[in-house]
Structure 1
């Protein structure tokens, strides 16, 4: 019988959190993020270089012999909590998790070294909305060249290498410069999506697409819960802080019982989300009951993160409706994350199948 997982944060994980939070405090302020969403370059390349190269976080999941850190999904989860708390516009989830997991499945050591050392950014050319185990579009392989169009590809605009599934069942590495990448309007401007068009591009076959994509999307869904936890924690903490300062009838607004009840409910939901997210990260690390833990985390995470951001928007009153206040960034991230890597409903259906509790 397996031991119960320890969901508490270790000293090393807490130290990692402090380091990442400190870096984000210095390089990822809300006005800067808002300004980037209004520009043609929403990604913060300088912040990415500091995180991925300076701190070595791009290679957490990559073995040490490939210039990675040889860490686990638990450490990655801590990083994603902090990135969610700051709605950081960096391709960490898409490159350091999704693309990296696909390459680990294929054994593409040279590309893993490039991603781990932050000399390249990778993007899996599968729509952001795709759930683990779901079908996904492919491009045509004709005469050794790739042809076709793939939509909803997150962070493709800053990728150096695209991992493209083809109709022969293979996963191909394609230089991003060989593709036409067309930006599409996204709800979450801090994680832009694009259409990738290939017209006779050459690619290198890495391995079978199906197991690589499934592994990548499962890790993405499980660790996305940690990002959603970061969003919810920021929304709760910022709302509590604001309600302590805002006064009405010469009393702090936070002293009104009705608002206390709303915040108490949100706190309970956020604590439960932390447990679910930690369980998913631990299951990805140990390989025990992974599918169940990931499905539970994603079935629970999206509604909580969205509700936390909505409550923050409402309880901030008029200031919360302004573009200058960052709460809209968190609401958009929460809403976009709610359909990323499968909706909560899709994960509930998957969970029902896994535990044999299907609806009658």
Structure 2
């Protein structure tokens, strides 16, 4: 487990307290029941921004705290535990792209708005059914961008899209030339196919040829942090259930076979935490980011998939009902596992990074 400084501990505790008291899973149920395409509570997001969470990775010169990716990961972990629906993750990823590749003018225009919660942004990369940043056909001509992006997270609330084109990343405001088609995924969050038809585009000219890969690595690590919180919560809830549920006049937790299963999950969870925290630390240090981010997301995919499955199985038939929260974690898990790289994609990427 990572060693946190006093400020990071305070940030984690604040996020945990707010998530438990102000954004429990019952709040997600309300968002789901509303049926609104944005699929988040704007008042709750405004509160997150007021607490400084939207500006954790934004430089102080542009209204943020520049507190680092480990600190951001602590917040996402706590929000993942309660399935808090918000565009915070999408906005943080987009902000990282601007911080890495934006001009001073672009940074001055957008980063303060993102850090304050005045604006919401998201990253639009993929154009097919699966994550494949090498298969991009979106193009820009005369400052106008044309193409279609699939499964864009938090698209309905976005004021700004960071869009991957053949020749780099571009900033595109949500307006003329931008059309959204809602995609309903199993997690009931905001997803859309976004079509750009001659929309005005402003290129992120900095960051070098690796800008897209660098941004995607940050997306993978931050997403893995949310997945870590989800995995921890499913484990804790399932363990508590086994301690209370009685079968054959015995508490389920007394059965050795179930004890072994929970022990295996505990070990998996520890390994996942190690990988995710190593990824966050790598981004903060700037050393070995690509490999660490790939491992973090791959382990998050593997472990959350296993724990979410076992959570359902160990709850028995009631785990499949809407009355119990555990099913929501499995549904969100499946969406996040496919985001920014499936397990097979990440294994191939790790091999290629090693020259194989």
Match of 1:21 in 2: 16
CA contact (8 A) 2:168 2:212 kept: no
How far did 1:63 drift? 0.8
Of stretches 259-268 and 249-258 in structure 1, the one that deviates more from structure 2 is 249-258
Residue in structure 2 matched with residue 171 of structure 1 by the alignment: 169
The 1-side partners of 2:170 and 2:274 are apart by: 37
User: Structure 1 residue 121: deviation in Å?
Assistant: 0.5
RMSD: 2.0
Return the offset for 1:143: 4.4
Answer yes or no: is the 8 Å Cα contact 1:37–1:189 preserved in 2: yes
Partner of 2:267: 268
Cα distance in 2 for partners of 1:310, 1:254 equals 18
TM-score norm. by structure 2 comes to 0.91
- Cα distance in 1 for partners of 2:324, 2:315 equals 10
- Measure the CA separation in 2 of the matches of 1:248 and 1:150: 50
Paired with 1:136 and 1:155, the residues of 2 have a C-alpha distance of: 22
User: Which whole-Å CA distance do the structure 1 matches of 2:152 and 2:85 have between them?
Assistant: 15
**Unaligned stretches of 5+ residues in structure 1:** 1-5
Question: Residue 130 of structure 1 corresponds to which residue in structure 2?
Answer: 131
Give the direction of change, closer, same or farther, for the CA distance of 1:288–1:141 in structure 2 (3 Å limit): closer
TM-score, normalised with respect to structure 1: 0.90
Distance of 1:114 and 1:265 partners within structure 2: 45
| 8 Å CA contact 1:77, 1:223 repeated in 2 | yes
Report the equivalent of 1:48. 45
Contact preservation (8 Å) 2:24, 2:84: no
Residue 138 (structure 1) shift: 4.3
- Structure 2 CA distance for aligned equivalents of residues 112 and 211 of structure 1: 21
**Separation in structure 2 between the aligned mates of residue 253 and residue 289 of structure 1, nearest angstrom:** 44
**Secondary structure in structure 1 of the residue aligned to 2:86:** coil
Decide whether the 8 Å contact of 1:101 with 1:215 is kept in 2. no
Work out whether residues 139 and 147 of structure 1, in 8 Å CA contact, stay in contact via their aligned partners in 2: yes
Partner of 2:288: 289
User: In the TM superposition, what whole-angstrom CA distance separates every residue of 1:38-58 from its partner, at most 9, and x where no partner exists?
Assistant: 332222222211112x21111
In the TM superposition, what is the alpha-carbon distance from 1:210 to its structure 2 partner?
Answer: 5.4
My pick for the range that moved more, 102-111 or 303-312, is 102-111
Match of 1:233 in 2: 232
**Number of the residue aligned with 1:197:** 195
Note if 1:64 corresponds to 2:60. yes
Q: Does 1:10 align with 2:5?
A: yes
Which 10-residue stretch deviates more, 293-302 or 135-144? 135-144
Q: Please list every run of 5 or more consecutive structure 2 residues that lacks an aligned counterpart in the other structure.
A: none
Q: CA deviation at 1:261?
A: 0.6
Given that 2:28 and 2:85 are in contact with CA atoms closer than 8 Å, whether structure 1 keeps it comes out as: yes
Say whether the 8 Å CA contact 2:68–2:284 is kept in structure 1. Answer: yes
In the aligned structure 2, how far is the partner of 1:332 from the partner of 1:56? 29
Find the aligned partners of 2:145 and 2:291 in 1 and give their Cα distance.
36
Query: Cα 1:124–1:113, aligned 2, differ >3 Å: closer, same or farther?
Result: same
Question: CA–CA distance in 1 between the matches of 2:161 and 2:246?
Answer: 52
Task: Tell me the SS of whatever aligns to 1:69.
Answer: coil
The corresponding residue for 1:75 is: 71
Count of residues in Structure 1 that have an aligned counterpart in Structure 2: 346
Residue 257 (1) aligns with residue 256 (2)? yes
Task: Supply the distance in 1 between the matched residues of 2:5 and 2:348 (Cα, whole angstroms).
Answer: 33
Question: Equivalents in 1 of 2:354, 2:194: separation in Å?
Answer: 37
Deviation of 1:253 (Å): 1.1
The 1:127–1:43 alpha-carbon spacing in structure 2 relative to 1, beyond 3 Å, is farther
Cα distance change on mapping 1:172 and 1:32 into 2, 3 Å:
same
- How much does 1:136 deviate? 4.5
Partner SS for 1:165: strand
User: Within 2, Cα distance between the matches of 1:313 and 1:275?
Assistant: 25
What do residues 256-279 of structure 1 show as CA deviations (whole Å, max 9, x unaligned)? 111101000000100111111110
Q: Does 1:87 align with 2:83?
A: yes
Paired residue secondary structure (2:10): helix
Matches within 5 A, 1:209-358: 211-356=210-355, 358=356
